[in-house]
Amino acid sequence: MQYSAIVGINWGDEGKGRMVDLLTAEYDCVVRYQGGGNAGHTVVNDHGKFALHLIPSGIFRDGVVNILGNGVALDPENLWQEIETLRLAGVKITPDNLMISDRASLLMPWHRLQDELEELRLRDKKYGSTKQGIAPFYADKYQKKTLLAGELNYPDSLREHLKEILGWKNLTLTGVYGAEPVREEQIKAWIEEYGEKIRPFIRDTAKILRRLRDEGKSILFEAQLGALRDLDFGIVPYTTSSNALAAYAPVGSGLTDLRLDQVIGVVKAYSTCVGEGPFVCEMFGPEAAALREAGAEYGAKTGRPRRVGPVDLVATRYGVKIQGATAIALTKLDVLSYMEKIPVCTAYEIDGERTEEFPFPVLLDRANPVVEYVDGWHCDISGARIWADLPEAARNYVERIERAVGCPIRYVSVGPERDAIIRR
Ligand code: GDP
């Protein structure tokens, strides 16, 4: 019996989906505890290649219970589309292997609308939102102006509550943004369609989690995005609107007295960042294009080309610290095989001063990367399955990162397939 969290250490897209898919073999239950359908975990397995947005990555394993906790942004329409897509590919999804917390708030069509209107208003200062409504959703949740999934079971009170919230929301949409009000009839029809579809999956999942624990089951807590996108400790304001830290797992899952046994932090062998915001180690020109191509770095949800750079030891050390990582999974090492010399960002220089500490957000715009080059291995490593299979230069590279961030690298991934992994 063990309780582990799997989290991103950097800006997201570190390959968490791939690691959760691998590790679910050791767990009975996988819980998503924060975030919404605005990111995509990519998983490659016997069923095919999938971009998961909201559904926990344990969905591909028989017998694993997958839970969407109270901390997620639950968009019934997107969730239903995801369920349908997976079912079409032959993945079994029933109320026995997918459960939604009755205390999860519902992300409504007006959240997506408001997200879009706000990005338009911000113009060139936009946050780079994926326009899935996540920021307005969490803002409303803190204002106690959301509908809970469990309310779908109480239609009379739901109707009243909807009327109240929609009246309030329309004040913002019309008054602040000059948009048309959202009509109640339209939302009722939407709830009738998508609310009904997801209703069979809604349960008191906090109770179910406690029961699974009492039965001695092992539980994996799956985060979305990475430490640097954390609402409190990330690159504010270019963060997500929830806490992407392992520390949020007890609250967002519903297992409120949870003590995690391990926190597995996923780090990519180089850096990528989607959207706006400071990205100190960013590379440009042909060097960046080559890395982007080699790693196929395009957003799983949006298809946007990702910004790329060398592994950033400053940001990674910070990410490891705030996640409380007890082990690291280093992914996509094989992608660097084409390089003669591999760049590594070892420090930042801010106003002429060198630092290895990740700075306060406003200083990030003034930070320049200090880059060193280490030897590449320049051969195909995607067939390596044990540590000794890796060429010396590759082992040196992994050990260099390990020393710099102060956390053992227990897994090294050399390909997207389930078995393309080295355990140390
Ligand atoms: P996530 O949101 O953290 O799961 O990250 P992504 O969805 O961006 O997943 C990373 C991408 O890299 C996916 O397409 C994976 O299949 C792929 N991937 C994961 N690990 C490896 C690896 O070790 N090598 C290679 N070549 N690809 C990988």
Specify the CATH number for the domain of residue 256: 3.40.440.10
pLDDT in tens, 55-81: 998 999 999 999 999 999 999 999 999
The answer to whether residues 182 and 115 belong to one domain is yes
For ligand 1, is residue 336 a contact (CB within 6 Å)?
no
**Residue having the nearest C-alpha atom to atom 20 of ligand 1:** 416
**Residue having the nearest C-alpha atom to atom 12 of ligand 1:** 15
**Residue having the nearest C-alpha atom to atom 10 of ligand 1:** 15
**Residue having the nearest C-alpha atom to atom 23 of ligand 1:** 332
Ligand 1 centroid – CA 13 distance (Å): 7
**Residue having the nearest C-alpha atom to atom 18 of ligand 1:** 416
Q: Which of 247, 264, 281 delimits the end of a domain?
A: 264
Q: Which of 198, 214, 232 delimits the end of a domain?
A: 198
pLDDT for the residue 125: 73
For ligand 1, is residue 41 a contact (CB within 6 Å)?
yes
Ligand 1 centroid – CA 8 distance (Å): 12
pLDDT in tens, 168-211: 999 999 999 999 999 999 999 999 999 999 999 999 999 999 99
The pLDDT of 299-325, averaged and rounded, is: 92
Of the pLDDT bands very low, low, confident and very high (cuts 50, 70, 90), residue 131 is: confident
CA distances from 105 to 33, 97, 132 (A): 12, 20, 15
For ligand 1, is residue 343 a contact (CB within 6 Å)?
no
* pLDDT score of 17 more than 90: no
Ligand 1 centroid – CA 415 distance (Å): 8
* pLDDT score of 157 more than 90: yes
Ligand 1 centroid – CA 85 distance (Å): 20
**Residue having the nearest C-alpha atom to atom 27 of ligand 1:** 416
pLDDT for the residue 304: 82
pLDDT in tens, 80-130: 999 999 999 899 999 999 999 999 999 999 999 999 999 889 887 777 677
For ligand 1, is residue 13 a contact (CB within 6 Å)?
yes
The answer to whether residues 115 and 154 belong to one domain is yes
Q: Which atom of ligand 1 is nearest to the CA of 43?
A: 16
The answer to whether residues 289 and 412 belong to one domain is yes
Q: Which atom of ligand 1 is nearest to the CA of 226?
A: 3
The answer to whether residues 80 and 161 belong to one domain is no
The answer to whether residues 291 and 394 belong to one domain is yes
Specify the CATH number for the domain of residue 280: 3.90.170.10
For ligand 1, is residue 294 a contact (CB within 6 Å)?
no
pLDDT for the residue 51: 82
Quick one: what percent of the chain has pLDDT higher than 90?
A: 86
3-state secondary structure 263-328: EEEEEECCEEECCCCCCCCCCCHHHHHHHHHHCCCECCCCCCECEEECEEHHHHHHHHHHHCCCEE
pLDDT for the residue 301: 66
pLDDT for the residue 300: 66
Mean pLDDT of the chain: 94
pLDDT for the residue 344: 98
Ligand 1 centroid – CA 118 distance (Å): 31
pLDDT in tens, 19-60: 988 898 899 999 999 999 876 777 778 778 888 899 998 999
Q: Region of 99 please: left (phi>0), alpha (psi -120 to 50) or beta.
A: beta
The answer to whether residues 93 and 135 belong to one domain is no
Ligand 1 centroid – CA 300 distance (Å): 10
The answer to whether residues 236 and 371 belong to one domain is no
For ligand 1, is residue 44 a contact (CB within 6 Å)?
yes
For ligand 1, is residue 18 a contact (CB within 6 Å)?
yes
pLDDT in tens, 332-386: 999 999 999 999 999 999 999 999 999 999 999 999 999 999 999 999 999 999 9
For ligand 1, is residue 21 a contact (CB within 6 Å)?
no
**Residue having the nearest C-alpha atom to atom 13 of ligand 1:** 42
Q: Which of 264, 283, 301 delimits the end of a domain?
A: 264
The amino acid that residue 338 corresponds to is Y
pLDDT for the residue 44: 79
The answer to whether residues 398 and 310 belong to one domain is yes
d(CA 171, CA 182): 10
pLDDT for the residue 391: 98
CA distances from 15 to 22, 95, 202, 226, 409 (A): 11, 27, 29, 11, 15
Tell me how many domains the chain contains.
Answer: 3
The amino acid that residue 152 corresponds to is L
The answer to whether residues 246 and 367 belong to one domain is no
Q: Region of 218 please: left (phi>0), alpha (psi -120 to 50) or beta.
A: beta
Quick one: what percent of the chain has pLDDT higher than 70?
A: 99
The pLDDT of 141-158, averaged and rounded, is: 97
For ligand 1, is residue 300 a contact (CB within 6 Å)?
yes
pLDDT for the residue 212: 97
Ligand 1 centroid – CA 315 distance (Å): 20
Just list the catalytic residues.
Answer: 13, 41
CB atoms within 10 A of CB 51: 15
The answer to whether residues 316 and 180 belong to one domain is no
The answer to whether residues 109 and 98 belong to one domain is no
d(CA 379, CA 376): 9
**Residue having the nearest C-alpha atom to atom 9 of ligand 1:** 15
Structural domain of residue 368, as residue ranges? 268-423
| Closest listed residue to residue 140, CA positions, set 160, 121, 114 | 114
For ligand 1, is residue 17 a contact (CB within 6 Å)?
yes
For ligand 1, is residue 331 a contact (CB within 6 Å)?
yes
For ligand 1, is residue 416 a contact (CB within 6 Å)?
yes
d(CA 303, CA 275): 11
Ligand 1 centroid – CA 14 distance (Å): 7
| Closest listed residue to residue 134, CA positions, set 247, 253, 53, 13 | 53
- Look up the pTM and report it: 0.94
CB atoms within 10 A of CB 173: 18
The answer to whether residues 8 and 50 belong to one domain is yes
Specify the CATH number for the domain of residue 146: 1.10.300.10
